[in-house]
Amino acid sequence: MKSSTHIMIVDDEETICEALFAWFVKDGYKVSTAFSGEQALECLQENSIDIFLVDVKMPGMSGIELLSRIKEKQPEAAVIMMTAHGSISAAVEAMKLGASDYLCKPFDPDALSLLMERVMMQKSLQKENSALKERLLEQQEAAADIFIVHSEPMRQIFSTVDEVAPSSAPIFITGETGVGKDIVARAIHFRSQRTYGPFVAVNCGALSESLLESELFGHEKGAFTGAMKARRGRLEMADTGTLFLDEIGEISTKMQVVLLRVLEEKQFLRLGGSQPVSSDFRLITATHRDIPILIKEKQFREDFYYRINVIAINIPPLRERLDDIPVLADHFLKRYVEETGKHLEGFTQKALDHLRVYPWPGNVRELKNVIERAVVIAKGRIIGTEELKFLDPGKMPCETSLTTLDELELNHIRSMLSSCDGNISHAAKKLGVNRSTLSRKMKQYHLTARN
């Protein structure tokens, strides 16, 4: 860790800079020196410094002023003030402004080393704390979408998620592109016993076989041209956490054999390495492909399929869970209203109906993009069909513009309510159903008596 820690000594006395430089280099640190505050700031523009040792009193820019400038440019850096006994009050004042500690001249070598170790430990704890906060924020952001479930199919899926999350069994998620396979994978991770471990995601379909191999297994220095230093792979990074391999249906049968061995042994070799690396991770895979067909076509190994498909979760497309559409649309509307600062109150009923009859070939991801676009172009305080006119189902390819039974039922109920001037009892009689059945259907389709 010391070799990666960069220290800068800032003092107008060259002898002090030289002595501290020699001391810290011997101790294994990377060290730079500057003889003025101005010179230190110039160096800071081109380098990332972890710890500064700054003299309180210097010609030109004082140590206190330099402290303020450092905190503006690199707030995470630790700053230790150096002072003579007569200037301790200034050093204490500097600590109130953000300095980590102070040293009195002349320096006690042992005290200096102990102070540096303490500052490094503080920085390490701060780094861990920041990483934890970032992970928790990521969890909260993911949860915002994870819990937007309203339809019965999605309720069943998240009931399954609650059941399987505590185990370490491999999970295989299927569904069309954009249905939210990654969100379900994150939900499983965040509800598991590995929640404080890393969630490492890899899109297998976006990488060539050679790049995927390097990405997963990492490599040793000199393993191939351009490998200037050793690098950890995603399998190693996922230790104690979850490894999510998206688009697993795109990997070669050769890679399937290699991964099958890793899953059995929980060990692997970095590219160019000879020492086995162990990693304890939970595997979640996902694909939009029909794997049984790929198995018949000899494009996917049956033994690998059974190894990753211990628990299967299939996410239905958005067009098969219409109850989720208005809830998701409202969620995304609130998100983009907050981002853009626009004052939008919601959707007209016709706009919601428009969203429900659209076939959503891109599923939730497409809905999210559509709402973002609607928010951007909206001119009033509510989103209507004008902001969604680019979603006209009649302009879709014929195979996706066909009217479904749900759409026929929705349009027929709306038409009957309109012809009966919103009288639910009369509409129910004309439809040949009782009033409670029609009311239930209206609730299902989010219809009001007057549309």
Angstrom distances, CA of residue 439 to CA of 68, 353, 442: 66, 17, 5
* Neighbour-count burial of 379, counting CB atoms closer than 10 A to its CB (0-12 exposed, 13-18 middle, 19+ buried): exposed
How far apart are alpha carbons 151 and 324 in whole angstroms?
Answer: 6
**Mean per-residue pLDDT pooled into runs of 10, the chain (451 residues):** 80 90 86 92 86 90 91 88 73 80 80 82 74 60 56 88 92 93 91 90 89 88 73 91 95 94 90 87 95 94 95 93 90 90 90 90 90 91 89 49 60 74 79 78 73 53
**Topology (CATH) of 152-316:** Rossmann fold (3.40.50)
- Residue reference for tokens 């330099």: 66
Output the pLDDT for position 287: 95
What residues does each domain of the chain span? 2-126, 152-316, 320-444
Structure tokens at 176: 């069309």
In angstroms, rounded to a whole number, what is the distance separating the alpha carbons of residues 306 and 295? Answer: 11
CATH class of 320-444: mainly alpha
Alpha helices in 27-108 (DSSP H): 37-46, 63-73, 88-96
Contact 391, 370 (CB under 8 A): yes
In this prediction, residue 138 carries a pLDDT of 59
DSSP SS3 for 218: strand
Confidence (pLDDT) at 402: 40
Given this model, what pLDDT does residue 450 score? 59
Distance CA 175, CA 152 (A): 17
pLDDT at res. 396? 45
Domain 2-126 has CATH 3.40.1260.20: no
Tokens 């490894």 sit on residue: 243
| pLDDT given for residue 398 in this prediction | 38
Domains 2-126 and 152-316 in one fold: yes
Residue 11: which H helix or E strand, with range? Answer: none
Q: 175-212 burial string, b = 16+ CB within 10 Å, else e?
A: bbebbbbbbbbbbbbbbbebbebbbbbbebeebeeeeb
